[in-house]
Amino acid sequence: MSDFLPPGWTVQEGHGIGLVIAGPSGAGKSSVIAEVLRRDPTLAFSVSATTRPRRPDETDGRDYHFVSEPEFDRLLRAGDLLEWTTYGGHRYGTPRHEVLSRLLAGQDVVINVEVQGALALRRAGLPHPVVLVFLVPPSREELVRRIRGRGTETDQTLAARLAIADAEVRQIPEFDYLVVNDTLDQAVKRVEAILTAERCRLRRCSPLA
């Protein structure tokens, strides 16, 4: 806080920050986000809806809202998704209410999406521009190792995810920040530094914000 500011200005108040973490499957988005949330319990996570089957280590309502195809259709028809996409034969979407209500209440929200979803969120008319972070692995070889190590893909779905990853890295110039996930601790510290920097932006403190 500071009261040594022009009339009407406040520090670190107003709308929350929408921090979008995108990047290739296997880059470590879920791992980095989980650790960022663990270290800062004031942050919220946007739990996406998906028609993908739940993995053994995932919890419904915490990692995703696992929904049926008709239920996803209903969310779409009701306008409940800020953006959505089909990825690897399954649909994924960002719930509008979950994100908007928190941002308007001043809470920062972390969002895990693929690259097209990140760019769509920029155009989604949120109260403040979202901050787009692209997370990359230290090498393509390491990306393959991480996806294999996670044990969730067949050779076929691994190849499909790599083909998408190759297209995704070409979109890096559209993003605000690039974070290399070499060690988890370093990547988490970089994301924390981005949040700190974004909270200090002048436009977030002005009476017009």
- Provide the binding-site residues for ligand ADP, judged by CB under 6 A: 25-31, 146, 149-150, 181, 183-184, 187
Length of the chain: 209
Q: Give the shortest CB-75-to-ligand ADP separation in angstroms.
A: 22
Binding flag, residue 51, ligand 5GP (CB under 6 A): no
Identify what 117 binds: ligand 5GP, ligand ADP, none; CB under 5 to 8 Å per kind. Answer: ligand 5GP
Cβ atoms within 10 Å of 12's Cβ, excluding its own: 11
Q: Give the shortest CB-62-to-ligand 5GP separation in angstroms.
A: 13
> Rounded to an integer, what distance in angstroms lies between the CA atom of residue 53 and that of residue 205?
42
Q: Which residue has the tokens 């890096």?
A: 172
Q: Give the shortest CB-23-to-ligand ADP separation in angstroms.
A: 6
> Rounded to an integer, what distance in angstroms lies between the CA atom of residue 156 and that of residue 163?
11
> Rounded to an integer, what distance in angstroms lies between the CA atom of residue 10 and that of residue 14?
8
> Rounded to an integer, what distance in angstroms lies between the CA atom of residue 89 and that of residue 9?
48
Q: Give the shortest CB-61-to-ligand ADP separation in angstroms.
A: 18
Which residue in the shown chain puts its C-beta closest to ligand ADP?
Answer: 28
Q: Which residue has the tokens 């060690």?
A: 183
Is the CB of 165 or the CB of 195 nearer to ligand 5GP?
165
> Rounded to an integer, what distance in angstroms lies between the CA atom of residue 81 and that of residue 83?
5
Binding flag, residue 93, ligand 5GP (CB under 6 A): yes
Identify what 52 binds: ligand 5GP, ligand ADP, none; CB under 5 to 8 Å per kind. Answer: ligand 5GP
